[in-house]
Amino acid sequence: MARHPIDVHVGARMRQRRILLGMSQTALGNASGISFQQVQKYESGGNRISSSRLFEFAKILNVPVSHFFEEMAPGLATGRRKVGRPKRNGGDEADINLNRQTLELIRAYYKIRNDGLRQKIRVMVQALASKG
């Protein structure tokens, strides 16, 4: 059976949040009473997440249930958008948000408690990016 685009999106949003929190699939599985393999299936969109399980994940990941449906591409619910794995290189901006390195960088950035230093780092990174 083909993966439904919404299941893929919800799973990707769950993975994104889990990584942003620095949580492993095993830790999320343990917190919800399932195996890490089941978490993998949910995150890939291979298995559909029930509403009760989604509610439980929202509590564990400290987000509202609506978080999993945010940033959904137009036409996704009708299946007019192709579903596939995010591109590693050359993907669009939405694909970048799913990249583990991006999420780890964001998590590390917000661990910097000094606001002035954090802003200087942001300006430096933006300057380096513009040099391309």
Nearest to 12 by CA among 39, 50, 52, 51: 39
Q: List the structure tokens of 123.
A: 């300006």
Q: How many residues does the chain have?
A: 132
Nearest to 36 by CA among 18, 21, 52: 18
Query: What does each C-alpha distance from 53 to 34, 94, 109 come to in angstroms?
Result: 10, 25, 31
Average pLDDT, integer, range 48-62: 97
| 118 pLDDT more than 50 | yes
CATH number at 1-81 = 1.10.260.40
Average pLDDT, integer, range 64-71: 93
Lowest mean pLDDT among 3-17, 41-55, 87-101: 87-101
Instruction: Give the pLDDT confidence score for residue 107 in this predicted structure.
Output: 82
Q: How many CA atoms lie within 13 A of 15 on its CB side?
A: 23
Instruction: Give the pLDDT confidence score for residue 99 in this predicted structure.
Output: 76
